[in-house]
A = this chain, B = another copy of it.
């Protein structure tokens, strides 16, 4: 089993905290140091047993680490790597949990000093809660973590990162960063754009001056849960996966337009077929 002497987690929230928890539980790390800006959160991480120690100084925190896990919003990952790069020990592997991979991998790989390695990763897991309090060791159990090597990736470093996520309980498909970004644009980024737009639209529809949202039932609440996700995280995703998100939004709009046409034409059989196809596909992934 893979083993790291010292792991540094930069951004100790749900994602970073949960990985630290499971690696400790499985004895795959010797020591975990937490790095972040919010001291109260980091202290809490030590109290909860997620971290052995913490620092707000990233340069100091990564000293001697053989694994660095960056779990900050996407746009800041390259900034973090630029800051820590000169302080990394030989052989150190840096990986991340960002939801966009081409932007991150292309920006980070060239920043790595000789003998250290960047490998991009994206655990497809999460809840609508955040912070180290929300972290738990089984978050990644049975989930997918997509790891995105490139032509520059060191095979031994790649193997260790794959092992790491397997220890956390995940299935670990490998994917090209560009392909990864298109896949998640479809199954994750598009639904978020749709949910955010839907809540804003219903809230903005004030034809009666009444509070429409107060009439919403369980279906609407489930459907819009992802519209409660962190605005800064999603701002960064929209900024860094722009082309794929625009492509998927346009693709989706085509289907919405098709359905609009069926409704306008009162096409009973077309409507039933459209709904049935969706139900069958949806039921197949239950």
A contact set with B: CB distance below 8 Å: 124-126, 143-144, 179, 182-184, 186-188, 190-205, 207-208, 210, 212-232, 234-235, 238-239, 242, 245-246, 248-256, 258-260, 262-264, 266, 268, 271-279, 281-286
What is the bound-complex CA distance between A258 and B256, given in angstroms?
A: 16
Q: A125 to B217, Cβ gap below 8 A?
A: yes
Given contacts A193-B256, A263-B245, A281-B203, contact A272 B215 (CB under 8 A): no
Given contacts A254-B201, A274-B196, contact A279 B217 (CB under 8 A): no
Find A225's partner among B222, B227, B260 (CB 8 Å cutoff).
B222
What is the bound-complex CA distance between A60 and B14, given in angstroms?
A: 61
Q: B251 to A205, Cβ gap below 8 A?
A: yes
Q: B186 to A212, Cβ gap below 8 A?
A: yes
Q: Which chain B residues lie closer than 8 Å to A205 at the CB level? A: 186, 248, 251
Find A215's partner among B144, B264, B275, B286 (CB 8 Å cutoff).
B144
Q: Name A's interface SS.
A: helix
What is the bound-complex CA distance between A125 and B258, given in angstroms?
A: 29
Q: Which chain B residues lie closer than 8 Å to A283 at the CB level? A: 228
With A124-B215, A205-B248, A221-B286 given, name 10 new contacts (CB 8 A).
A126-B219, A183-B208, A193-B263, A196-B278, A228-B283, A231-B273, A231-B279, A235-B268, A238-B263, A249-B259
CB distance from A227 to the nearest CB of B (A): 5
Q: Which chain B residues lie closer than 8 Å to A278 at the CB level? A: 195-197, 199-200, 203, 227
CB distance from A232 to the nearest CB of B (A): 6
Given contacts A238-B271, A278-B227, contact A256 B197 (CB under 8 A): yes
Q: A273 — nearest CB in chain B belongs to which residue?
A: B231
Could you write out 28 A-B pairs with CB less than 8 Å apart?
A: A126-B217, A144-B215, A179-B208, A186-B212, A187-B215, A187-B217, A188-B220, A193-B259, A193-B263, A195-B278, A196-B274, A197-B255, A197-B258, A197-B278, A200-B255, A200-B278, A201-B248, A204-B251, A205-B251, A225-B282, A227-B279, A228-B279, A228-B286, A229-B275, A230-B279, A231-B272, A245-B263, A249-B263
What is the bound-complex CA distance between A277 and B179, given in angstroms?
A: 31
Counting chain B CB atoms within 10 Å of each CB, which of A218, A254, A284 scores highest? A218
Given contacts A245-B263, A272-B232, A278-B199, contact A191 B223 (CB under 8 A): yes
Given contacts A126-B219, A222-B222, A253-B256, contact A263 B242 (CB under 8 A): yes
Q: Which chain B residues lie closer than 8 Å to A187 at the CB level? A: 202, 212-213, 215-217, 220
Q: A226 to B222, Cβ gap below 8 A?
A: yes
Q: A123 — nearest CB in chain B belongs to which residue?
A: B217
What is the bound-complex CA distance between A212 and B225, given in angstroms?
A: 22
What is the bound-complex CA distance between A123 and B284, given in angstroms?
A: 29
